[in-house]
Structure 1
Amino acid sequence: MSADGFTKMSIYGMNMDLFSSSPIVILKVEDENRYLPIWIGQPEARSILMKLQNQEFVRPLTHDLALNLVNELGASMERITVTALRDQTFFATIRLDIDGKTVEVDSRPSDAIALAIRSGAEIFASDEVIQEAGVEFEEAEAMEDAPEDEVVDKFKDWMNRVSPEDFK
């Protein structure tokens, strides 16, 4: 993993859990075949998807408003971190820079991710969380030369076979 206990992640995609009908945001360890699926709520999934699909609205949505407030107050988002997993609940922080002072704010991972994709902030997860809840998608290595849409379809099929209980 990493030297400082945190690993850089990227948003791999979104999926729907067929068992619970809950959206899942999937983070990927950069340069590895390791993923961190996080079950999230419908409104946060919609917010993340809208931004990933570059949909714009005349009026700011909740996560747009939150970022506007951060910016108007002279702060900037440095990074978000998925910090812990307790009782099947993920925890996160948002790190802000306010005039050279670092401030960390508690957050749900889904809200933090929605803000990160709007601000360009980097996404990290603690190595402990990745070890506890991260999964490897073994078939990806065998599909290195396959078209991206085929790999994504195979990954979605795999995600449809897992449930939150598989990550206990």
Structure 2
Amino acid sequence: MIEMRVAAIALDAVTRSPIVLLKDATERRALPIYIGQDQARSIIGALEHQPTPRPITHDLMVNIFRAWNLKLDKVIISTLQDNTFYALLCMKMGKKEKNIDCRPSDAIALAVRYNCPIWVMEEVILDASIPVDRDADEEEREAFKDFVANLSPDELIRRAQQAGEE
């Protein structure tokens, strides 16, 4: 799993649909997820710490979680099937742990309110992420090619033995 954070809420230029953009810590990969207007407003409100006159749905959920001593430990964007993302709320209540299926937009809206980590499965990153820094990706590929090109069989064996000793 790769930890990501909300980098922005944007609008698709063609459809005008909101997109939440998640980025990894290195800011080399971004994961765009289409969300609804209400969820976009909810995430933006939480990111900007905008108070509401009455609790909106995600605030209500946080209030219920807190009233029952439920802790949102993390959220996981777990799968991508037929262009639909799936997520899990990883909840704790004392020693009990439960994972609850939900929409990624709701998971992200709650994660922002709880300041808890947003994790994305590697398979989802591979299938749906977009590169942010192509130059850095290319530099990394070239450095790896140089490393492999200059690696002798004896050096490879020595490194494998060292790794086995650690």
Deviation at 1:139, TM superposition (A): 6.3
Is 1:90 the counterpart of 2:85? The answer is: yes
CA distance in 1, matches of 2:36, 2:135: 27
Structure 1 runs, 4 residues or longer, greater than 2 Å off: 138-141
CA–CA distance in 1 between the matches of 2:78 and 2:42? 22
Matched to 1:45, the amino acid is A
The residue identity in structure 2 corresponding to 1:43 is: D
Distance 2:135 2:36 in 1: 27
The match for 1:147 is none
Cα shift readout 1:40-97 (whole Å, capped 9, x = no counterpart): 0000001001111211013111100011111111111000000000011000000001
Counterpart Cα distance in 2 of 1:7 and 1:96? 19
Q: Distance in 1 between matches of 2:5 and 2:135?
A: 16
Matched, 1:53 2:56: no
> With structure 1 as the length reference, what TM-score do the two structures score?
0.78
Matches within 5 A, 1:2-151: 6-138=1-133
One-letter code aligned to 1:12: A
RMSD, aligned α-carbons: 1.3
**Cα separation, 1, equivalents of 2:124 and 2:134:** 22
State the TM-score, normalized to the length of structure 2: 0.79
Instruction: State percent identity of aligned pairs.
Output: 38
| Match in the other structure for 1:158 | none
Contact kept in structure 1, 2:72 and 2:116, CA below 8 Å: yes
Instruction: Kindly indicate whether the alpha-carbon contact (under 8 Å) linking 1:33 and 1:140 is maintained by their aligned counterparts in 2.
Output: no
Q: Which has the higher helix share?
A: 2
What is the CA–CA distance in structure 2 between the aligned matches of 1:121 and 1:21, rounded to whole Å? 29
Q: Which runs of 5+ in 1 are unaligned?
A: 1-5, 142-168
Deviation at 1:140, TM superposition (A): 8.1
Residue 123 of structure 2 aligns to which amino acid in structure 1?
E
Task: Report the number of matched residues.
Answer: 136
